[in-house]
Amino acid sequence: MLLIHCPHCNEERPELEFSHAGEAHIVRSTQLTELSDEEFAHFFFYRENRKGVTFERWRHTHGCARFFNAARDTVSDKFLITYKIGEPKPKLKISTNQNKKAAS
């Protein structure tokens, strides 16, 4: 079973306690009513979904119920780091072949 570290509880818990909440670090418009239908659709529905390391938002649903961010490798399903919402996106040194392919 996959274990996920909750930065609020400061412990690793089984993946069954968590819920995926989409891509992290999305810039949200403050003027949604001024967006065209196409701009709104792109903002609301389209996400990167790339192979390799991705930054995601998670919720410790059956624990503290708080949201946090995580860097996860979608190829190996390994969590590289978890951190609290509001903290800056960490700079990671990535040297796997999958991430090099995904970047090209």
E strand or H helix at 94: none
Indicate yes or no: pTM above 0.85: no
Residue 50: what pLDDT? 82
The region of weakest confidence among 24-28, 46-50, 77-81 is 46-50
CA distances for 93 relative to 62, 66, 82, 85, 100, angstroms? 32, 27, 15, 21, 12
Nearest partner of 18 among 29, 32, 27, 7, judged by Cα: 7
Residue 94: what pLDDT? 64
CATH class of the domain comprising 3-103:
alpha beta
Per residue in 28-38, pLDDT tens? 778 888 989 99
How far apart are the two ends of the chain, measured CA to CA in Å? Answer: 32
